[in-house]
Structure 1
Amino acid sequence: MLCCLSFEMNGQYISIDDGRTAQDLISNVLVNSSCASTSGETGKGDNYRLPQQSFAYFNRNGSSFPFEEGIVLASSTAQSAIGPFVSDLGTSDSVDWLGDNDLNQILGINSVDATVLEFDFVPLTDYLSFNYIFASNEYQYSYPCEYSDGFAFLIKEVGSTDPYKNLAVIPGTNTPVSSVNVRPQIVPGTGPNGSPYPGCAASNETYFNGLNTNTSPVNYAGQTTVMTAQSPVKKGVPYHVKLVVADASYRYLDSAVFLQAGSFASKIDFGPNRTSDNSNPLCFGETFLLDPKLSPAYSYKWYRDNVEVATTPTYTVTQPGNYKVEITLTPSSCLLAGEIKIDYAPEILSTDTSLLQCDDNSDGFSIFDLTKVNSIVKNNATNITNAGFYETLQNAQDKTSPIAGPEMYINKTPNQTVFARLENEFGCFKIAEVLLQIAPTSIPDPSPINKCDEDDQQDGIYEFNLDLDVTPQVLLGLPSQLKAHYYLTANDALAEINVLPNLYKNATAFNQTIYARVVNGPDCYDVVKVDLVVNTFNPPNFEDESKYLCKNGSLELIVATGFASYNWSNGSTSNSTTVTTAGDYTVTVTDSKGCPKTKKFTVILSEPATITDAVVNDFSGNDNSVLIKYTGAGNYEFSLDGKHFQDDPQFNGIAPGIYNAVAHDKNECGMSNIFPIYVLDYPRFFTPNNDSHNDFWIIENSDKLPEYKIYIFDRYGKLLKQMNQSSSGWSGQFNGQQLPADDYWFTLTFENGKNVKGHFSLIR
């Protein structure tokens, strides 16, 4: 049971054989093909822990490592590459193990502990590649933010003085693969010495395979994905290849590079796959020549989707598929292969079309907006782009000299054809033709469009609704699909610039000319001159009025004669109407041009007043007053004598007497009822000397008063006299004796409870 467990654990990690020579590793592991031969194989590395080597053969050994077998070059002993990963920040490498000058020069580092394999190689094709994985213990803490060991795959022609070319780079760049250039995001943390570090962003993380654990097949903290070193070469020309890995500056945190067995070889390179995923499919109808550029004397087999399709030295692709060629370099048994996947972009559908433009002077030349047919020529396909218009087919095909300003292109010849280049997202193109023609159709100028100036200021400026007021007359009798747009000038209409708004107020008073561009879709049908006329109508003495209607009467409302029509709000159609009820009445008159003007009559009900009462303040001397109470819907003036009138129903300073109050309607609807009013007062003295003048003290007109009694007292309160309506007055006597001249007091008491008190003088 323990034996089985030990076997499973051992099977989780790679195995290392570091007893094989450099020549064996290069010829029989890395290359290992009848199609290739190497020479001058050498290797050097750790010479201080023999027999251990820093380059060796490795085998997956049942683990999950991506390569089945291959060569490993390490900056420490090759045995240290065996998993699992155990973090060790120290080193046991000799201080005498030196670096490599070529690596220093290509990477700009100061290397130590370098391991190198070198050999010469003659490619059979013009393309070379091999697969590798870079692994490093520098994928710990924040080290990838700052430090990286160095490695390179160097190649140059044998005997050349040119510098080496490094094949260990990020695909599509010249950036060397390293733990700094290929790393995940490093989050802030604390280093092994207890110091915090800020971390750093990821770099080319697509090529980072991940961090390793204590079950990893190799003893490195992290590693890249499987990567390919590749380069064009000259077939038949010998090249020198140098594979090197080393620590950079410090002998800590070792790194290694794993080379896949048998992957170093000349290959048939047809370039990148031509697929939509790569944004480079073949264009619809395009052919593609697959040419290995080898001797036609060799034996060829071509496959499409694993079905043999030809045995020729080249093959022309006309349909999508996965293509493969196998070439036997007869009379040898060397078999070379190449593959490529090919897709086709969908066909670009196009439509040749024509564009009709109007001609304002009949010379056959006009301004064309070519962009109007953008959607038409590409069949409204949103994924197709119009890459410009061209005056010649050749220019459109070559994509040279596009028409500048296609929105305002003036044709060079009558019935000229221009060419639209249509492109898809992959750069495939198709040419569509656009015929530029002068519209053969014409529209007669409409009669002037008349509008009445109906705003408050009769200045000949008024707003037109062009769609409602003008378009129906311009398009009268024409096909229903036509539309009209309006411009200030004919040239603007041709160029379709400065289009007028639909609600347009003329800028020139009374009469202005505009131009209608009538279109049929993108085509011009005709440019039509349109005269806008604003008529004014401002009759004199046509202000609103107020009129008064007497109750139970009638009123005639009248405006001047001579207008073209009359329309009263009550239905009358003459210059006058008779009304019998109050309210608002309007009359709209029109002149000979149909322009309206409206006048409003406000009819107000009026009637004679009814005087219902009078509030009399009397016995007050100069402060006597009368307030007339009344009802009625009218505008009244008031009088106490029927001759003198005032607007206020309040009369002040009224002398004692009998009055007949009336109210007069100012709207001439008549007089009110007559209302008698008595204003009384008492005399302030009397002289009972039998001269027939003031011989008696009596209240004038007291007989007109309601029932009352008067009591007269001397200054001591003694009752001297009592009187009523039938009394003739007081003669100044008491018990037949004349009373002396003095002041006397009275009390006037009415049946309704009202009391009036005062005093007067008896004078002898």
Structure 2
Amino acid sequence: MKILGFLLVLLSSYGLLGQISVDVANYSVEKLVKDVLINSNCAETANYTSATGTTEGLNGIGYFEANGSDFPYEEGIVLSTGQAKFAEGPNDDIHDAGSKEWVGDADLKAITGSDILFNASYIQFDFVPHTNHISFNFLFASEEYQENFQCTFGDVFAFILTDSNGVSTNLAIIPNSKLPVSVTTIRPGVEGECVGRNLPYFDKINGDDSAISFHGQTTSLTAESPVVPGDSYTIKLVIADNRDSQVDSAVFLEAGSFNLGYDLGEDRTVANGNPACITETIALDATVGGVVDYKWYKDNVEIIGWSGISKVDVVDSGEYRVELVFSESCVASGTLSAEFIPAPVIVQAPDPLVFCDVDGSAGEIVNLTVNDESILGGQDSVIYGVTYYLSSEDAAAFENAIENPEAFELKNASETIYARISSGNSCYEITPFEVKLLGLDFQSELQEEYILCVDAIGKTIDPLPLLNTGLSIADYEFTWYKESISPENEIVGATDASYSANEEGAYIINLKNRELGCSFSLSTQVVTSHQPNVFEVAFVSDPFTDNNTIDIIAEGDGTYLYSVDDANFSSENRFENLTAGEHTAYVTDIYNCSTLSEEFVVVDFPRFFTPNGDGVNDVWSIVGFPQIEDADVSIYNQYGMLLHQLNGNIGWDGTFNGKIAPSSDYWFRVDYTKDGERKEFKSHFSLKR
């Protein structure tokens, strides 16, 4: 028992390590700012203020530790619209501490344009940066990620940076946008209610064992801004409930992430669209007042020759870093990635492009990118690209490129196009070429759509659809493509006026008029029609009814038509008033690719028979007897005497004990099984002599 008790205590201790811990009593605002958030001497801070729900006995500001949990930050500051202590996991309750008596924040309302705010918590302080860039990491969490609240309700927060001129900016925005971070701007979405938004920045919906007690949370995000070294700034970190005081939210700030680094500028890389050419020099300037030493590194190796220099020239590819030493306890840094590439060359001047005006409209949609290959001439397409412009000035400025050169609307008889080869906004070459539009009297037999017939397992059924232009090979050159016009999509050997397609999809034929030299393209679509993979006849009516009814069932990837015997095909699959005896059911697709058939028998009985030896109606039997499951047929006279029992499909010849039965009405009973249930049918027929 002692061992068991020890294990329980141990397991309980491990359970406690699964959630963060929050301290709201032992950290002043100054301590939270200087020792937790910044933890650096690279900025002078002062004038620490805060506000939270103290009038209601609530504290929405605290220090947190990960406490061995999987929370992304080891420690930091939490600002909540409720009790900060309630941020501790697990997520086993919905928190909405605070009433409308706990007011909002005017600065937050102004910068976010929000509605009436409640339950605001904020920290504010002044700082003077030594460098030109600040950043810090944060994560937003909220109870409003439950149910469909995320579609309409969004508590708000902001990191309001105000410069010495009184100009304020919100740093709590979604990357590459101006949208503020909130439940409604970063959300997974609710089916039937609202779609997800900015999903890469949403982390997860929290379970019962989560590190924090909020229903959902974002990924770690970065707030950042350029600053002017030596200027004075105020930053306000504030959060509030929006529109009502219910359901809490919180923002977590990572300890030590308030980085006062140095921005050397945008990376100069192929991926960034602005690499440097090998003939260029990248000038890096880290000049800041108050620096006592500069240390430069390339790929983490110090460049001794640059020691103490604030301005350097970079001519080689690599990852560069500078450390600005203000004092032993204040060292700021900045990085820049540089890639140097050879200057592109135009290997072959592009040929003029001549297109045909096939409809007399004095305008055609043409593909300019057919010249890509000749302009690139084997240069790496991962590094270099070709863009097209209507003026040499735009091409040189890398502005106003033709947005869709694959479908350029050529309106004039002649147009000069300027092609630029470059790696984004880097060193480049420009070459012009002419694009001409010639009038052509043209008609083609190519249809908009063709049908490829396939069986139930997808195997093609002959004949294949013939995509036929109806044009003469003496007048045109033909090149067929699948899906799009590109070298890799060219159909090898397809150079005739027609093509037999064995796959579904889009087909494009490029035609060149031999007399005029102009080119244009036509397109068509090949769609498949499948045979049904299920084809059967189902009886709707019971045997021996006055209205014999069947359904023809066909299932598969197609649309089907139905027929019985020689009737015309229709979309109706139910057939009524069928006569007794043998029939044939047919199914085909709407394109008449192929027809499948199945024979069936309608069960019934003759109302009379004439056993007179003339070979016509000499025997009475059940029509379709083999189709009846487990059938027993008994025949009686008018007095209920059993005269005969049918054996299989062998009928009654009108005799009893070797004697001829008289003309009269006779009764019969059929016992049979249908759908697992035993059934009985009784009726009568006439014997005529």
**1:265 match: secondary structure:** coil
Aligned residue among 10, 22, 31 for 2:38: 31
Amino acid at match of 1:77: Q
Pair 1:230 & 2:224 matched: yes
Partner of 1:82: 88
- Residues 378 and 147 of structure 1: CA distance in aligned 2, closer, same or farther (over 3 Å): same
Q: How does 1:7-156 map to 2 (within 5 A)?
A: 7-19=13-25, 20-48=27-55, 50=57, 53-88=59-94, 91-107=96-112, 108-156=114-162
Residue 94 of structure 1: how far off its partner (Å): 4.1
Partner of 1:203: 197
Q: How does 1:177-188 map to 2 (within 5 A)?
A: 177-187=181-191
Residue 116 of structure 1: how far off its partner (Å): 1.0
Partners of 1:75 and 1:500 lie apart in 2 by 73
Whether the aligned pair in 2 keeps the contact of 1:303 and 1:324 (CA below 8 Å) is yes
Aligned residue among 296, 321, 326 for 1:324: 321
* CA distances 1:302-350 after superposition (whole Å, capped 9, x unpaired): 11111112322123222222221111015x6410011233334565243
Whether the aligned pair in 1 keeps the contact of 2:127 and 2:232 (CA below 8 Å) is yes
**1:85 match: secondary structure:** coil
Pair 1:239 & 2:245 matched: no
Aligned residue among 420, 423, 426 for 1:422: 420
**2:107 match: secondary structure:** helix
**1:290 match: secondary structure:** strand
Partners of 1:431 and 1:46 lie apart in 2 by 64
- Residues 421 and 46 of structure 1: CA distance in aligned 2, closer, same or farther (over 3 Å): same
Amino acid at match of 1:231: S
Pair 1:305 & 2:299 matched: yes
Pair 1:270 & 2:264 matched: yes
Whether the aligned pair in 1 keeps the contact of 2:83 and 2:97 (CA below 8 Å) is no
Residue 388 of structure 1: how far off its partner (Å): 5.7
Q: Any unmatched runs of 5+ in structure 2?
A: 1-6, 353-367, 402-409, 435-471, 477-510, 519-689
* CA distances 1:395-438 after superposition (whole Å, capped 9, x unpaired): 97557999x9999699xxxxxxxx976323523343368999xx
Amino acid at match of 1:83: G
Partner of 2:635: none
Residue 224 of structure 1: how far off its partner (Å): 0.7
Whether the aligned pair in 2 keeps the contact of 1:421 and 1:429 (CA below 8 Å) is no
Normalising to structure 2: TM-score of the pair?
A: 0.53
Residue 372 of structure 1: how far off its partner (Å): 11
Partners of 1:176 and 1:299 lie apart in 2 by 39
Equivalent residue pairs, number: 411
Partners of 1:409 and 1:95 lie apart in 2 by 68
**2:276 match: secondary structure:** coil
Partner of 2:244: 250
Whether the aligned pair in 2 keeps the contact of 1:103 and 1:109 (CA below 8 Å) is no
**2:222 match: secondary structure:** strand
Partner of 1:3: 9
Is the deviation greater in 335-344 or in 21-30? Answer: 335-344
Whether the aligned pair in 1 keeps the contact of 2:53 and 2:121 (CA below 8 Å) is yes
Q: How does 1:591-670 map to 2 (within 5 A)?
A: none
Amino acid at match of 1:305: D
Partner of 1:336: 332
Whether the aligned pair in 2 keeps the contact of 1:389 and 1:406 (CA below 8 Å) is no
Residue 181 of structure 1: how far off its partner (Å): 0.4
Partner of 1:385: 386
Residue 84 of structure 1: how far off its partner (Å): 0.7
Residue 46 of structure 1: how far off its partner (Å): 1.7
* CA distances 1:52-73 after superposition (whole Å, capped 9, x unpaired): 6210111111111111111111
Partners of 2:255 and 2:473 lie apart in 1 by 86
Partners of 2:150 and 2:302 lie apart in 1 by 49
* CA distances 1:65-103 after superposition (whole Å, capped 9, x unpaired): 111111111111110000111232x63424421111111
Q: Any unmatched runs of 5+ in structure 1?
A: 188-197, 357-369, 411-418, 437-462, 468-497, 505-515, 518-764
- Residues 226 and 346 of structure 1: CA distance in aligned 2, closer, same or farther (over 3 Å): farther
Partner of 1:176: 180
- Residues 150 and 143 of structure 1: CA distance in aligned 2, closer, same or farther (over 3 Å): same
- Residues 247 and 303 of structure 1: CA distance in aligned 2, closer, same or farther (over 3 Å): same
Residue 377 of structure 1: how far off its partner (Å): 5.0
Aligned Cα RMSD in Å? 3.9
Partners of 2:390 and 2:149 lie apart in 1 by 56
**1:144 match: secondary structure:** helix
Residue 30 of structure 1: how far off its partner (Å): 0.9
Partners of 1:261 and 1:67 lie apart in 2 by 8
Residue 209 of structure 1: how far off its partner (Å): 0.7
Is the deviation greater in 229-238 or in 345-354? Answer: 345-354
- Residues 48 and 348 of structure 1: CA distance in aligned 2, closer, same or farther (over 3 Å): same
- Residues 316 and 220 of structure 1: CA distance in aligned 2, closer, same or farther (over 3 Å): same
Amino acid at match of 2:319: N
Residue 283 of structure 1: how far off its partner (Å): 4.2
Partners of 2:513 and 2:99 lie apart in 1 by 89
Residue 49 of structure 1: how far off its partner (Å): 5.6
Amino acid at match of 1:205: L
Residue 374 of structure 1: how far off its partner (Å): 7.2
- Residues 400 and 296 of structure 1: CA distance in aligned 2, closer, same or farther (over 3 Å): same
Q: How does 1:396-475 map to 2 (within 5 A)?
A: 397=396, 422-424=420-422, 426-431=424-429
Partner of 1:261: 255
* CA distances 1:638-694 after superposition (whole Å, capped 9, x unpaired): xxxxxxxxxxxxxxxxxxxxxxxxxxxxxxxxxxxxxxxxxxxxxxxxxxxxxxxxx
Partners of 1:372 and 1:131 lie apart in 2 by 47
**1:64 match: secondary structure:** coil
Partners of 1:60 and 1:499 lie apart in 2 by 70
Whether the aligned pair in 2 keeps the contact of 1:421 and 1:430 (CA below 8 Å) is no
- Residues 84 and 390 of structure 1: CA distance in aligned 2, closer, same or farther (over 3 Å): closer
Whether the aligned pair in 2 keeps the contact of 1:31 and 1:263 (CA below 8 Å) is yes
Amino acid at match of 1:136: S
Residue 179 of structure 1: how far off its partner (Å): 0.4
Whether the aligned pair in 1 keeps the contact of 2:151 and 2:189 (CA below 8 Å) is no
Partners of 1:400 and 1:76 lie apart in 2 by 50
- Residues 296 and 379 of structure 1: CA distance in aligned 2, closer, same or farther (over 3 Å): farther
Q: How does 1:468-507 map to 2 (within 5 A)?
A: 501=514
Partners of 2:63 and 2:185 lie apart in 1 by 27
Partners of 2:42 and 2:400 lie apart in 1 by 51
- Residues 284 and 114 of structure 1: CA distance in aligned 2, closer, same or farther (over 3 Å): same
Residue 14 of structure 1: how far off its partner (Å): 0.8
Partner of 2:312: 315
- Residues 273 and 84 of structure 1: CA distance in aligned 2, closer, same or farther (over 3 Å): farther
- Residues 351 and 199 of structure 1: CA distance in aligned 2, closer, same or farther (over 3 Å): same
